Amino acid sequence: MDFQLADRLYLRVFEEDNMMLSGELTENIVITGKEGLEELHRTSFYGRPKGDSLELSLTESAYLIYMKKITVKCAGEELDFEQFFIRASNIVKNFELFYIVYKDLRGRGYYVQPSDIGFRVYPRGGHPGKTPAQYLVFVTSERIPLLVSTLNKHLDNSDNKKKRLILAIVDEESDITHYEVKKLIPSGSSVLKPKTLHSVVTLLEDRCMVWEPDESNMLHKEGFFGKPMDEGHLQLSLVESCYLLNNGIMEIEKRNHEKLGFAEFSDIATRIESDFMIKYKVYEKLRKSGLVPKTGFKFGTHFRVYRSFDSISHSDYLVHAISHDHIFSLQQVSRAVRLANSVKKEMIYAVVSDRIDFIVLGRVRL
Amino acid sequence: MDFQLADRLYLRVFEEDNMMLSGELTENIVITGKEGLEELHRTSFYGRPKGDSLELSLTESAYLIYMKKITVKCAGEELDFEQFFIRASNIVKNFELFYIVYKDLRGRGYYVQPSDIGFRVYPRGGHPGKTPAQYLVFVTSERIPLLVSTLNKHLDNSDNKKKRLILAIVDEESDITHYEVKKLIPSGSSVLKPKTLHSVVTLLEDRCMVWEPDESNMLHKEGFFGKPMDEGHLQLSLVESCYLLNNGIMEIEKRNHEKLGFAEFSDIATRIESDFMIKYKVYEKLRKSGLVPKTGFKFGTHFRVYRSFDSISHSDYLVHAISHDHIFSLQQVSRAVRLANSVKKEMIYAVVSDRIDFIVLGRVRL
């Protein structure tokens, strides 16, 4: 959408009315007189009343200058849109991002108020004074790395305030993509009861092999573990093997018949995959929650996850294990979420600290 | 597919015939007598004749033991499948990967011969001695990082041999995904003639702004540059701005009205995006080839690319710029290719050295 038709119509009406209010820029705020309260706040919910005057943020002011609703002076001199915009972008880091997101939301009929992280957005039909805000919108650019801890802080904050958290990511061409961020407690219905194996499993290069046909079949059929290499031989992945070892279901030996304990096995696995331990913790947590995780390689994530293994034909989630000090590249997040949604799955990041938090990211259209 | 029905039937026939050949394992090869030539090579194209005997690779031998077509002895002692497999995997690194890929190809009716990087595969209906091999199959695991230089070497090699290069990636659950790798010279039909701007463009935080309405429209309409922020103001991305600057179409200044040359601008851009220069080189190359590159953020790549800007509704390629010393994570490649294909685009890596090579990766079903 290049620009809003509504803008153009609105502009024309205002030009005819020719009722421009004036405001004064001081530091990072524009203050209008009493008329502002009436014209801008009571009817359209711009700004915050302060006694007899109205305070407008720089974003609101730039938008209102563009809409020809106000003129702004600074030290007696009137600033045009270009001058005001450049000045504002010198004051507020990434001002243009806030402006783009604000203009888009207002242009689509939402009432918007500023917040620490971007904006508070009111539900359709609602407005300040009538309804609480519905969304907290965190504004960022595709290029700004996002710390998991930052995202968690915003999540806690929006949970406390009973708002939905939206990530508004502005790309290099100023297009906006909105993601909703939620916590989730995944759970499924798979109760797993594999019998203890009598045969010994061999660790090959980076996977294990069950050689005994009946036990191969049992593990695969009763727990959806591994993949049959052929009739009678089952290959297990490293996480699967480690889980079965740790739960006393089987023993693992090296090709030289040396037995491996949990610590030795996970050491070897970590040498093969540096993030093995966080991946393993998430695998274990998912299995213990009644879910069936299998490799998500084809989708570029650690796991695809089934809620039960009766419905094994379609997996519900894509889960990627990350550590609590992970830094998101928003380009990668964008790719992961888009891919998950294109195959009708939810994209979940499992954040591993002393506990595991599951964070769902999904595209939304506001 | 858990195992091949064909295997089972075949096995039964052989058990009835009970005509097992015997071979001898020496170093990394199994040698059978004259009967092998007749039974295994002339009818089914296993192994390589060597005088009166037949040489079988370890992969072929493991498969033939599993199929109950041969027994293998080593120093007088017969090895069963498990013993042979473990021994082979001690000799050949990642033996299990080769075995999985080989078994899959043979199981689906292809004739296969070993090669340096994996296998040579004959076209359906063809076989050694009748037709040349059609594919070179490079076998690897999702966990093994892949150097761009390795991929290029295999590409050159398969080009010289007039074969199609296939990447067979085995995931942690032993599922195989095949990708075809090709070089491409992208070209389009967009001849670009934007006029030189009279107004000056401002570099804001990480994008540029054209303030003059007519010139904003001209740039957008006549070259599909930038994105209108509203009626009259055009935002340009860093690569677009750098390209227009470098081609003398416009001048850029900072917010303090200081003019920026190409070197200064690209320095600033590199501070914002560390891979700016390789991205810029690819952008320029694509534009000069008559293509229109726009940001690929929503797809998790650097660019989406249009072959002409008459057909601007659907982009044809997703292009990601990488340096010649890049190391692919196959998990990321898998995600990128799957996403590109799900939106009916080709995934292209643009490898930047002193020249730019475009490599297409696409999933194929052999």
Q: How many CB atoms lie within 10 A of CB B241?
A: 24
Average pLDDT on B86-103 reads: 96
β-bridge pairing B29-32 and B53-56: antiparallel
User: Which amino acid, A212?
Assistant: E
Same domain for A127 and A15? yes
Same domain for B127 and B220? no
Cα separation, A65 vs A61, whole angstroms: 6
In A27-123, the DSSP E strands lie at: 29-32, 48-50, 53-56, 70-74, 77-79, 112-115, 118-121
pLDDT of residue A311: 53
Q: Both tokens of residue A289?
A: 């929650």
**CATH label of the domain that carries residue A69:** 3.40.1170.20
Minimum distance, in Å, between the CA of residue B51 and any CA atom of chain A = 34
Last residue of a domain, one of A228, A252, A273: A273
pLDDT of residue B296: 95
From A227, which residue of chain B is nearest by alpha-carbon distance?
B173
Among A99, A208, A236, A298, most B C-beta atoms within 10 A, so best to mutate, is: A298
pLDDT of residue A333: 95
Give the active site residue among A34, A153, A198, A314. Answer: A314
CA neighbor of A293 nearest in space, from A226, A219, A202: A226
Calculate the average pLDDT of chain B.
92
Per the DSSP assignment, residues forming a β-bridge with B363 are B179
Q: Would you call B362 exposed, middle or buried from its count of C-beta atoms within 10 A (0-12, 13-18, 19+)?
A: middle
Residue B129: C-alpha distances to residues B30, B43, B62, B164, B360 (Å): 22, 12, 24, 19, 31
Is A317 within the bounds of a domain? no
Same domain for B197 and B115? no
Nearest to A332 among B99, B172, B300 (CB): B300
Average pLDDT on B1-19 reads: 46
Q: With an 8 Å Cβ cutoff, are B231 and A85 in contact? A: no
Cα separation, A206 vs B94, whole angstroms: 8
Minimum distance, in Å, between the CA of residue A41 and any CA atom of chain B = 23
Q: Both tokens of residue A18?
A: 């020719």
All residues at 6 or more sequence positions from B153 whose CB lies less than 8 Å from its CB, including other chains = none
Helix (H, G, I), strand (E, B) or coil at B216: helix
Minimum distance, in Å, between the CA of residue B333 and any CA atom of chain A = 8
Is B140 within the bounds of a domain? no
Q: With an 8 Å Cβ cutoff, are A177 and B93 in contact? A: no
Chain A contact set for B207 (CB, 8 A): 96, 172, 174
Give the active site residue among B102, B243, B345, B349. Answer: B345
Chain A contact set for B82 (CB, 8 A): 202, 211
Give the confidence band of B18 by pLDDT, cuts at 50, 70, 90: low
Last residue of a domain, one of A83, A106, A133: A133
Per the DSSP assignment, residues forming a β-bridge with A137 are A119, A166
Cα separation, A191 vs A289, whole angstroms: 9
Average pLDDT on B120-146 reads: 95
Active site residue B345: yes
Is A292 within the bounds of a domain? no
Taking a C-beta distance cutoff of 8 angstroms, is the pair A198, A210 a contact? no
Is B11 within the bounds of a domain? yes
Q: With an 8 Å Cβ cutoff, are B238 and A103 in contact? A: no
Nearest to A300 among B66, B211, B335 (CB): B335
Is A51 within the bounds of a domain? yes
From B304, which residue of chain A is nearest by alpha-carbon distance?
A173
Size of interface A-B (CB pairs under 8 A): 190
Cα separation, A68 vs B252, whole angstroms: 27
Same domain for A213 and A129? no
Q: With an 8 Å Cβ cutoff, are B86 and A202 in contact? A: yes
Return left, alpha or beta for B125; rule: phi > 0 is left, psi -120 to 50 is alpha, else beta: left
Same domain for B34 and B124? yes
pLDDT tens digits, residue range B98-107?
Answer: 999 999 999 9
All residues at 6 or more sequence positions from A192 whose CB lies less than 8 Å from its CB, including other chains = A222, A223, A287
Helix (H, G, I), strand (E, B) or coil at B314: coil
Q: Would you write out chain A's pLDDT as a tens digit for each of its 366 residues?
A: 344 544 444 444 344 445 689 999 998 999 999 999 999 999 999 999 999 999 999 999 999 999 999 999 999 999 999 999 999 999 999 999 999 999 999 999 999 999 989 999 999 999 998 999 999 999 999 999 999 999 999 999 999 999 999 999 999 889 999 999 999 999 998 877 788 999 999 999 999 999 999 999 999 988 899 999 988 899 999 999 999 999 999 999 999 999 999 999 999 999 999 999 999 999 999 999 999 999 999 999 999 999 876 656 789 999 999 999 999 999 999 999 999 999 999 999 999 999 999 999 999 998
Give the active site residue among A122, A280, A306, A349. Answer: A306
Same domain for A10 and A128? yes
**Number of domains, chain A:** 2
Chain A contact set for B273 (CB, 8 A): 143
User: Which amino acid, B15?
Assistant: E
Q: With an 8 Å Cβ cutoff, are A172 and B295 in contact? A: yes
Q: With an 8 Å Cβ cutoff, are B3 and A211 in contact? A: no
β-bridge pairing B70-74 and B21-26: parallel
Minimum distance, in Å, between the CA of residue A330 and any CA atom of chain B = 8
Q: With an 8 Å Cβ cutoff, are A334 and B231 in contact? A: no
Is A38 within the bounds of a domain? yes
DSSP B355: S
Helix (H, G, I), strand (E, B) or coil at B40: helix
Is B299 within the bounds of a domain? no
Nearest to B86 among A85, A255, A295 (CB): A255
Structural domain boundaries enclosing A258:
192-273
Nearest to A339 among B2, B97, B338 (CB): B338
Is B349 within the bounds of a domain? no
Same domain for B128 and B209? no
Chain B contact set for A85 (CB, 8 A): 209
Last residue of a domain, one of B261, B284, B307: B284
Per the DSSP assignment, residues forming a β-bridge with B260 are B252
Q: With an 8 Å Cβ cutoff, are B211 and A82 in contact? A: yes
Active site residue A135: no
Per the DSSP assignment, residues forming a β-bridge with A146 are A328
Q: With an 8 Å Cβ cutoff, are A335 and B301 in contact? A: yes
Give the active site residue among A102, A135, A345, A349. Answer: A345
Q: With an 8 Å Cβ cutoff, are B331 and A297 in contact? A: yes
Cα separation, B218 vs A292, whole angstroms: 56
All residues at 6 or more sequence positions from B319 whose CB lies less than 8 Å from its CB, including other chains = B186, B282, B286, B293, B296, B301, B302, B303, B304, B305, B348, B349, B350, B358
pLDDT of residue A98: 97
Nearest to A207 among B96, B169, B177 (CB): B96
Residue B239: C-alpha distances to residues A1, B157, B198, B282, B303 (Å): 22, 35, 20, 10, 11
Same domain for A224 and A116? no
Helices (H), B205-329: 213-223, 238-246, 262-272, 276-288
Same domain for A114 and A201? no
Nearest to A172 among B173, B237, B334 (CB): B237
Q: With an 8 Å Cβ cutoff, are A299 and B272 in contact? A: no
Minimum distance, in Å, between the CA of residue B364 and any CA atom of chain A = 13
Run of H or E including B317: strand B317-323
From B170, which residue of chain A is nearest by alpha-carbon distance?
A297
Residue B89 phi, psi (nearest 5): -75, -15
Same domain for B21 and B97? yes
User: Which amino acid, B286?
Assistant: L
Handedness of CA B304, B310, B312, B316 (dihedral sign): negative
Helices (H), B92-146: 95-107
ipTM: 0.87
Taking a C-beta distance cutoff of 8 angstroms, is the pair A322, A278 a contact? yes
Cα separation, A279 vs A126, whole angstroms: 44
Give the active site residue among B243, B306, B317, B349. Answer: B306
